[in-house]
Amino acid sequence: MFSEKLFKRLYHATHITFLTGAGISAESGVPTFRGKDGLWNNHDVMQLATPLALKTNTDVFWEFYNWRRRLVTDIEPNLGHYALVDFERLISQVTVITQNVDGLHQKAGSTDVLELHGNIMRSRCSECGYLPEADGKILAFDKIPYCPKCNGLIRPDVVLFNENLNSTILYQAQEASATCEVFFSIGTSSLVEPAASLPYIAKANGAYLVEINVERTPLSDNADEFIEGKSGKILPMITVLFEKIREK
Ligand code: BV8
Ligand code: ZN
């Protein structure tokens, strides 16, 4: 199931980087975007997760995001998230780059998390940038929120399609990809850019590229190792085995 080469590379690594997608949260009960229970099967993603929908289809936009906020409010991290926290005891530097907006990596205890696409539980005013949660305000999940300062439309603090990512976070993610010795791509369909390019940056800089997924993706043929299976099962097996090898 796992190659000796993977553990050799981990043994000598000082910095490893994880790129995670919706698949790592699937075992916590969060629907993925494109899987069979896909979040967007009965929603047209390009109609909903876009700035145009926020402006022109505001009630449906907020119905979708409030539904997703309720979904992620009482979910817990799973063994896959916790395994990434375990790695922080075993390797001196561990970077988690996530496309997910559910905050589960931080909830599990990961200390270096780059949220490429933002966080669905954070909001901001589209006009004046007011941050309700930072100001101690919790938005109700049943209506369209407007800014108390300027009455502008409040939006979830996520990166919508055709919106630029935060350039600092993207730069840090590219850095962490270019400088790590082992790069894991976990639970992502490897379709959404610029996240999908990060594994290639890692490989081009000499990292050992591992993909963990329940099915192959466009990245699989370029990975040094494709491990088929659920991340909540595979990741803890890797940390337990690696810990034994280190103790020898
Ligand atoms: C940008 C936040 C510049 C919102 C999200 C044509 C070609 C290439 C690119 C483009 C193109 N046209 C447009 C683009 C750019 C576009 C893009 O990439 N489009 C793709 C879809 C074609 N990208 C952008 O727009 C980005 N911005 O480029 O800015 C720009 C500026 C102006 C104009 C143009 C360009 C912004 C992208 C960010 C969008 N926001 N999320 C929200 O969440 O509501 S993306 C959204 O998809 C989520 O963040 C999600 O994480 C992400 C990717 O999906 P995955 O995480 O991979 O999830 P998915 O369901 O797809 O896959 C799950 C995987 O898990 C599957 O493989 C499954 O097998 C596996 N799995 C399931 N269970 C398990 C498992 N694996 C392991 N264990 C399990 N148990
Ligand atoms: Zn405002």
**Distance between CA atoms of residues 23 and 169, nearest Å:** 21
Determine which of 82-96, 121-135, 178-192, 223-237 has the lowest per-residue pLDDT on average.
Answer: 121-135
- Closest-approaching ligand to the CA atom of 229: 1
Provide the pLDDT confidence category of residue 40 given band limits of 50, 70 and 90: low
| Å from CA of 191 to ligand 1 middle | 6
37: confidence class by pLDDT, cuts 50, 70, 90: low
Inform me whether the pLDDT recorded for 236 exceeds 90: yes
Report pLDDT for 138.
82
Structure confidence at residue 38 (pLDDT) = 62
- 42-46, 126-130, 138-142: least confident range: 42-46
Phi, psi of 59 (to 5 degrees): -70, -40
Q: Separation of 153 CA from ligand 2 center, angstroms?
A: 7
Kindly report the pTM of this predicted structure.
0.95
Please check the confidence at residue 248 and state whether its pLDDT lies above 60: yes
Query: What would the mean pLDDT of 77-101 be, rounded to a whole number?
Result: 98
- What interhelical angle do 79-90 and 231-247 show, nearest 10? 20
Q: What is the pLDDT of residue 36?
A: 66
Least confident of 44-53, 111-120, 129-138: 44-53
pLDDT grade, residue 74 (50/70/90)? confident
Task: Calculate mean pLDDT across residues 15-29.
Answer: 97
CA-to-CA distance for 103 and 156, rounded, in angstroms?
13
**Average pLDDT over the chain, rounded to whole?**
93
- What's the confidence (pLDDT) of residue 48? 87
Residue 42 has pLDDT above 90, yes or no: no
Instruction: Please tell me the distance from the alpha carbon of residue 128 to that of residue 11, in angstroms, as a whole number.
Output: 49
Residue 147 has pLDDT above 80, yes or no: yes
- Percentage above 70 pLDDT, the chain: 96
3-state secondary structure the chain: CCCHHHHHHHHCCCEEEEEECCHHHHCCCCCCCCCCCCCCCCCCHHHHCCHHHHHHCHHHHHHHHHHHHHHHHCCCCCHHHHHHHHHHHHCCEEEEEECCCCCHHHHHCCCCEEECCEEEEEEEECCCCCCCHHHCCCCCCCCCCECCCCCCEEEEEECCCCCCCCHHHHHHHHHHHHHCCEEEEECCCCCCCCHHHHHHHHHHCCCEEEEEECCCCCCHHHCCEEEECCHHHHHHHHHHHHHHHHHC
- Which residues have CB under 6 Å of ligand 1? 21-23, 26-27, 32-35, 49, 99-101, 117, 158-164, 187-189, 191-193, 212-215, 217, 230-232
**Residue closest by Cα to atom 51 of ligand 1:** 99
Give the pLDDT score at 67.
86
pLDDT at position 205 is 98
- Dihedral sign for Cα atoms in the order 210, 214, 219, 225: positive
For 169-212, how does the pLDDT look when each residue is reduced to its tens digit (9 = 90+)? Answer: 999 999 999 999 999 999 999 999 999 999 999 999 999 999 99
Residue 39, pLDDT score? 62
Q: How far is the CA of 95 from the centre of ligand 2 (A)?
A: 34
- Percent of the chain scoring above 90 in pLDDT: 78
